[in-house]
């Protein structure tokens, strides 16, 4: 049980970009099957925190552990040889979805989903194709298998990127503002896919501005500001009854610009302003 509770651990992560401290001794623990949404104003370090998990943004200090094993421990020597191979094995277990999709334009939808399965996991072409079809089906792209990413809409590209990550059978998904680059009418399709993933028990760490979505799927919401976690708690408490003034302000600003979903109205109702 405690092993599941400490599925993913980020311990005292400090990241500096020149003189700017992007993350200041941030610690976060995620349990197996938990969905954690990270919210906060831009530049607060939430994307950097997410990118620390798979060591895409190696921190200056701190440790990341997945199921008790060290993914990275800063400051450590440059990642070479055995170190980088071990890191790549961890990365293959963490599916990452980017704001800008980063689908591979020189490969068809199917090839986008099979390539890493073959290259990284060593699956056979047939096995990879079968898994890819299932993953593309899961995200509603069963009829786009032979299309080029260029022919897909933004929402479809993002769902392709999700399928690419899912086909690796990851034990954890990292999503960096998965809907921020999408036209509003395409957001719901992507969110529906993520919601079904959450319902299947996938452990997810999501950086998002979609409060309504966070309210629906997140077990826990983490509010960050200026490189620190300011408030962290169960979703209902964080979004409906924020303890800090900072989170109250942030929620008020965000709900003022977002469509007034039922969720947002609740937040506003609780807000004194």
Partner 1 sequence: MGLELSIFIDYGPRILVGFWLTIKIVVLAIAIGLPLGVFLALARRSRLALLRFAATAFIEVFRNTPFIIQVFLIYYVLPFYGLRLPAEQVGVLALAAFGSAYFAEVIRGGIEAMPAGQLESAHAIGMSETQAMRYVVLPQAVGVILPPLTNQMLSLIKESAILSTITVQEMTMTALRIQGETFRPFEAFIMIALLYWLLNEVVAIGMRRLERGLTRKTPRSTTLKVEGGR
Q: Which residues bind partner 1 (CB under 8 A)?
A: 54, 56, 78-80, 84-85, 88-89, 91-96, 98, 100-106, 115-116, 119-121, 148-151, 153-155, 157-158, 161, 164-165, 168, 181-183, 186
Give CA–CA dist 149/151, Å, rounded: 5
> Min. distance of Cβ 120 from partner 1 in angstroms?
4
Q: What are phi and psi of 206, to 5 degrees?
A: -125, 125
Kind plus residue range of the DSSP H or E element containing 86 = helix 81-93
> Min. distance of Cβ 131 from partner 1 in angstroms?
14
SS3 letters across 17-54? ECCEEEEEEEEEEECCCCEEEEECCCCCCHHHHHHHHC
Q: With the CA atoms of 255, 260, 261 and 265 taken in that order, what torsion angle do they form, in degrees rounded to the nearest 10?
A: 70
> Min. distance of Cβ 243 from partner 1 in angstroms?
34
> Min. distance of Cβ 238 from partner 1 in angstroms?
28
Give CA–CA dist 29/36, Å, rounded: 10
Which of 18, 150 has the CB closer to partner 1?
Answer: 150
Which of 66, 94 has the CB closer to partner 1?
Answer: 94
The pair of structure tokens assigned to 138 is 């899961």
Which of 161, 239 has the CB closer to partner 1?
Answer: 161
Give CA–CA dist 271/237, Å, rounded: 13
Which of 161, 198 has the CB closer to partner 1?
Answer: 161
Which of 57, 267 has the CB closer to partner 1?
Answer: 57
Does residue 140 sit in helix, strand or coil? coil
Which of 113, 229 has the CB closer to partner 1?
Answer: 113
> Min. distance of Cβ 31 from partner 1 in angstroms?
23
Please give the C-alpha separations between residue 12 and each of 3, 35, 159, in angstroms, as whole numbers: 19, 21, 33
> Min. distance of Cβ 203 from partner 1 in angstroms?
16
- Report yes or no: 225 and 213 within 8 Å, Cβ to Cβ: no
The pair of structure tokens assigned to 210 is 């979609």
């Amino acid at each position: 049980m405690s092993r599941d509770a400490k599925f993913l651990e980020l311990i005292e992560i400090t990241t500096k970009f020149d003189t700017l401290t992007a993350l200041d001794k941030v610690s976060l623990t995620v349990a197996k099957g938990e969905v954690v949404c990270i919210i906060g104003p831009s530049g607060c370090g939430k994307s950097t925190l997410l990118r620390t998990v798979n060591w895409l943004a190696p921190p200056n200090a701190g440790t990341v552990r997945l199921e008790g094993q060290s993914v990275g421990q800063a400051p450590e020597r440059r990642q070479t040889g055995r170190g980088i191979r071990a890191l790549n094995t961890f990365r293959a277990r963490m599916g990452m979805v980017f704001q800008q999709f980063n689908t591979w334009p020189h490969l068809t939808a199917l090839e986008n989903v099979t390539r890493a399965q073959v290259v990284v996991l060593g699956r056979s072409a047939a096995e990879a194709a079968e898994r890819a079809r299932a993953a593309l089906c899961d995200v509603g792209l069963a009829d786009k298998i032979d299309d080029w990413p260029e022919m897909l809409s933004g929402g479809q590209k993002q769902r392709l990127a999700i399928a690419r990550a899912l086909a690796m059978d990851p034990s954890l998904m990292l999503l960096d503002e998965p809907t921020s680059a999408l036209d509003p009418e395409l957001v719901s399709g992507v969110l529906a896919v993520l919601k079904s993933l959450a319902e299947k028990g996938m452990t997810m760490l999501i950086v998002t501005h979609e409060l309504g979505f966070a309210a629906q799927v997140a077990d826990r919401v983490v509010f960050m500001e200026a490189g620190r976690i300011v408030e962290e708690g169960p979703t209902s408490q964080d979004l409906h009854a924020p303890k800090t003034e900072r989170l109250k302000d942030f929620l008020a600003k965000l709900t003022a610009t977002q469509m007034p979903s039922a969720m947002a109205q609740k937040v506003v109702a609780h807000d004194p302003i």
